[in-house]
Amino acid sequence: RLGLRHPGKADAIDRIWRERSRLYEEYRGSSDRLDYLGTLPWVGPATKHSLARQLGCLVEHEDRAVA
């Protein structure tokens, strides 16, 4: 939790991990997968594009996550 610097982000990660099977099925069944990723807690515009690429979706990225 300290490494994330925000308790809300840690809680979101814990929630997504607990609900990962259901969330993945919803993602796979979504008609717009990119928009679905944006509904996940603590996933913003840049992160949803990065996540989509990591999940194998070919998407154009308007924003990039900056390290």
User: Residue 49's pLDDT is what?
Assistant: 87
Is the pLDDT at 19 greater than 70? The verdict is: yes
State percent of the chain over pLDDT 90: 52
Please enumerate in sequence order all residues whose Cβ is within 8 A of that of 45, keeping only pairs 6 or more positions apart, or say none: 38, 62, 63
CB 51 within 8 A of CB 43: yes
pTM of the model: 0.74
Q: Convert the pLDDT of each residue in 38-66 to its tens digit.
A: 999 999 998 998 898 898 886 555 555 54
Better-predicted residue by pLDDT, 26 or 53: 26
